[in-house]
Amino acid sequence: MRLAVAFIDIPAEQTTALTDAVLALMALYGVIALQRVGPHDPAKVRIWSWAFGLLAFSAALGAAVHGFKMTPGLKERLWVPLYLTLGLTVSLFPVAAAHDLWGGRAARKALVIMMSMAAAFFALAGWISGGFLVFVLYSAAIMIFMIGAYGWLAMMGKVKGAWLLAAGFVVAVIAGGVQAKRGIIVTLIWTFDHNGIYHILLMVGLAAIIAGLQKQLYSSGKPGTL
């Protein structure tokens, strides 16, 4: 039995798949970059590595969903693990912020709370139509919290690179707003819809977050515990 695999022939879907693939590679780079500075703060590295790893998986899966022709039933089934990993990814961000704000014990408590919220998000996204809009709203609330947390840490001078993290999450909020505006089409050599533009903005935000974490971890002398 031969399995036929065909690439999608819709230009905007092609660029969406490509930008998803690049986003996955950037997230993987984030994991590798963090591992190189791991001994300075293993707890923080562990949290962020899981977040970036899950982001890489969801982006790679998104590239497959957007980039290949498939039956509606198969596409619907693939959105299930995609929603799950997206929910887990953004739910780990406040855990990392709690670690920086209040330490390892607070991060452990935040982990339990946020994993419960991720499960609730996953159930809600699967129960109602327009599940991705639920994700956009859920992630926007978390991103706003992250902007406030790292903006405050930056102003207090408590965490090096905090301004870069705050800026990265500002871009992520803007990206979410763009993603929610369906119908956007931009042609710059290639055609990009709201999803492709969303991914490009996320790349910018992710680059700032990774740079901020590298700055923070390289300057950290105390290992954490989680």
According to DSSP, the residues that pair with 68 across neighbouring strands are: 7
Least confident of 83-87, 107-111, 159-163: 83-87
Nearest-10 Cα torsion for 167, 169, 174, 176: 170
Token readout for 143 is 């991103």
**pLDDT tier for residue 38 given thresholds of 50, 70 and 90:** low
> What's the pTM value of the predicted model, to 2 decimals?
0.89
**pLDDT tier for residue 212 given thresholds of 50, 70 and 90:** very high
pLDDT at 26 over 90: yes
Q: DSSP letter string over 80-132? A: HHHHHHHHHHHHHHHHHHHHHHH-HHHHHHHHHHHHHHHHHHHHHHHHSS-HH
**pLDDT tier for residue 226 given thresholds of 50, 70 and 90:** very low
Residues in the chain: 226
**pLDDT tier for residue 71 given thresholds of 50, 70 and 90:** confident
Alpha-carbon gap, residue 226 to 224, rounded angstroms: 7
Token readout for 117 is 């919220």
Alpha-carbon gap, residue 179 to 173, rounded angstroms: 10
Q: What is the mean pLDDT of the chain?
A: 86
pLDDT at 25 over 90: yes
Helical H segments across the chain, by residue range: 11-36, 42-67, 72-102, 104-127, 131-156, 162-180, 194-218
Over the stretch 186-208, which tens digit does the pLDDT of each residue have? 888 888 888 999 999 999 999 99
Rounded to 10°, the helix 104-127/42-67 angle is 20
CA torsion sign, 55 to 61 to 67 to 71?
Answer: negative
